Chains A and B, each alone.
Chain A
Amino acid sequence: MSALGEVRIRVPATIARGSVVRARALVIHPNERVERKAGKSVDRNYRFINRVVVNYAGQDIAEFDTSTSIGENPTFGFAFRASEPATLKVIFFDTHGGRFEGAVEVKPA
């Protein structure tokens, strides 16, 4: 079962030290789309992910400004240089004040 705000991060099984690797992060989230009635957008406080922060070894390496036009249960792929054994964190923020964080240990060989 997946609950709202659950974050999963995937990194390659083996990582060479200093190499550039690609990771993918997923958050379980409705990422609401704007409703329309008679061609007009309905105004209410939509709940969607509007900011994603990627943090590696304590440093913010990327930040994404996102919108309602990203699919439900958003996934984000990105690259980072695995320079040292450290924690890779991805933090998702939504418009209702939600903060969802996931972390994996990166262990370059």
Chain B
Amino acid sequence: MPEPALTRREVLKAAAAVGMASAWIPRDAAAQGTLASLAPEEPVDKTMQRLFGGRPIRDGASVINLDLPLIAEDGGNVAMSVEVKSPMTPQSYVKAIYVLSDKNPRPLNAKFNLTPACGQAYVATSLRLADTGDVRAVAEMQDGALVMVKRTVRVVVAGCAV
């Protein structure tokens, strides 16, 4: 399919968009994807220590619903959702949900920062999993209290180094 030629207006709009984008990101855009800017390669215990220090983490089986397949055919794309049963009011809400995969070289998949305006502590995404192992979801309440659940996922084809 031939590419449509760009008009002058489109070029200017694109240039403006690039300018806006760089203004939006305070960090140095040129080097954001290097290994140094990624989380370090480390065992999951070290990541937990780095994120939460020695803070106590309660078992969250009664409040967190972590939905994952038992067997993931493709580790490169594993559907995951987390729902924390919690009020979402300014007085009491889930501030953040961390998703970690024990067997990934960089265990932290994502950190989801939430606000009371979410109405519900629910997030979903597709994970890359390097190998069969536990996936954990840690919920941090607005007062800093932590709760965690784990689920084991069998990975058939690895999501490679992630």
Q: Which A residues fall within an 8 A CB radius of B?
A: 20, 22, 24, 32-36, 41, 43-48, 50, 56, 59-72, 74-81, 93, 95-99
- Contacts between the two chains (Cβ within 8 Å), count: 157
The answer to whether A20 touches B77 (Cβ under 8 A) is no
In the complex with contacts A36-B160, A61-B115, A77-B101 CB distance below 8 A: no
> 9 nearest interchain CB pairs?
A77-B124, A95-B33, A97-B29, A81-B119, A20-B119, A99-B21, A71-B126, A95-B32, A79-B120
Given contact pairs A65-B110, A78-B123, A95-B33, A70 touches B115 in the complex (Cβ within 8 A): no
Where chain A touches its partner, the secondary structure class is strand
Contact of B109 with A48 in the complex, beta carbons under 8 Å: no
CA distance A33 to B21 in the complex (A): 23
Across the interface, name the chain B residue whose C-beta is closest to A22. Answer: B122
Range of interface residues on B (Cβ < 8 Å) = 35 or more
State whether A71 and B76 are in contact (beta carbons under 8 Å apart), knowing that A63-B113, A97-B21 are contacts in the complex. Answer: yes
Q: What is the CB-to-nearest-CB distance from A4 to chain B, in angstroms, rounded to a whole number?
A: 13
Residues of B contacting A75 in the complex (Cβ-Cβ under 8 angstroms): 124-126
Across the interface, do A77 and B115 meet the contact criterion of CB distance under 8 Å? no
Is B125 in contact with A74, judged by CB distance below 8 angstroms?
A: yes
Q: Across the interface, do B113 and A62 meet the contact criterion of CB distance under 8 Å?
A: yes
